[in-house]
């Protein structure tokens, strides 16, 4: 579905009473449309293992969809498309909540009551109105530009066709490690070791480059 179709589903949901079958149908179609659009972002998860990142994102998506179903009336089409609203929530709120709580507690997240997590439309207006790109977009831009060639030069010793740039971009595109392993005919453990070793070395450079380019 394109933005126009998704936006219309959001409006359809808002136009029907809470708890009604019509609203539930519109919300179900909206959530399914987002999932199958391929445009739900992959928030930056530098420092997380592949398995842990997948786990965090899955839980963040679950919280996101729950929030949308309960808070669709908080969405304002005048501020942004419903897809941008959802991606903003995913990156700047729910993925951070999951990451922060998991890291603090090292155990499954227990979300606080839904009512305590509501955000007013005026607060959304501030966040959505700034039009700042998502961090994942900034990371992708940094990797794709590769001004100094560092990411392309960082290769697997015995498989120079597999470099850090290519590997991270595959992950940002949503490819699972099993798929990448099969694509390059390289063991997942080898890819994972290379990924984490390279990431520890290049993460400060990535952060510095993004801050310098975008004055963050």
**Span 36-71, pLDDT tens digits:** 888 888 887 766 676 777 788 888 999 999 999 999
* Cα separation, 83 vs 81, whole angstroms: 5
Between 53 and 75, the more confident residue is 75
- Whether the CB-CB separation of 81 and 5 falls below 8 Å is answered with no
> For residue 180, what pLDDT band results from cuts at 50, 70 and 90?
confident
The H or E element spanning position 162 is: strand 159-163
Between 181 and 53, the more confident residue is 181
Average pLDDT over residues 167-193: 83
- The whole-number pLDDT of residue 105 equals 65
**Number of neighbouring beta carbons within 10 Å of residue 14:** 17
Residue 184 pLDDT greater than 70, yes or no: yes
> For residue 115, what pLDDT band results from cuts at 50, 70 and 90?
very low
Average pLDDT over residues 188-207: 85
- Looking at every residue in the chain, the average pLDDT score rounds to 80
- The whole-number pLDDT of residue 6 equals 94
- The whole-number pLDDT of residue 93 equals 87
**Number of neighbouring beta carbons within 10 Å of residue 90:** 25
Average pLDDT over residues 87-96: 88
- Whether the CB-CB separation of 168 and 151 falls below 8 Å is answered with yes
- The whole-number pLDDT of residue 4 equals 92
**Span 123-178, pLDDT tens digits:** 445 444 455 566 667 777 888 888 889 999 999 988 999 999 998 888 776 677 78
- The whole-number pLDDT of residue 36 equals 86
- Whether the CB-CB separation of 193 and 155 falls below 8 Å is answered with no
């Amino acid at each position: 579905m394109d933005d126009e179709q998704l936006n219309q589903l959001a409006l359809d949901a808002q136009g029907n009473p809470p708890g009604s079958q019509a609203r539930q149908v519109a919300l179900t179609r909206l959530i399914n449309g987002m999932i199958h659009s391929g445009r739900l972002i992959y928030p930056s998860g530098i420092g997380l293992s592949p398995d842990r990142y997948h786990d965090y994102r899955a839980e963040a998506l679950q919280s996101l969809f729950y929030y949308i179903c309960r808070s669709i009336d908080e969405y304002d089409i005048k501020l942004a498309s419903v897809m941008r609203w959802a991606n903003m929530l995913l990156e700047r709120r729910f993925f951070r909540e999951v990451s922060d709580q998991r890291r603090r507690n090292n155990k499954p997240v227990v979300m606080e009551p839904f009512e305590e997590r509501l955000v007013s439309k005026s607060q959304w207006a501030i966040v959505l109105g700034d039009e700042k790109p998502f961090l994942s977009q900034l990371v992708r831009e940094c990797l794709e530009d590769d001004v100094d060639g560092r990411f392309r030069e960082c290769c697997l010793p015995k498989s120079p066709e597999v470099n850090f740039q290519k590997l991270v971009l595959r992950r940002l595109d949503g490819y699972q490690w099993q798929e990448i392993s099969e694509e390059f005919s390289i063991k997942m453990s080898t890819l994972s070791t290379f990924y984490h070793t390279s990431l520890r070395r290049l993460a400060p450079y990535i952060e510095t480059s993004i801050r310098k380019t975008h004055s963050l």
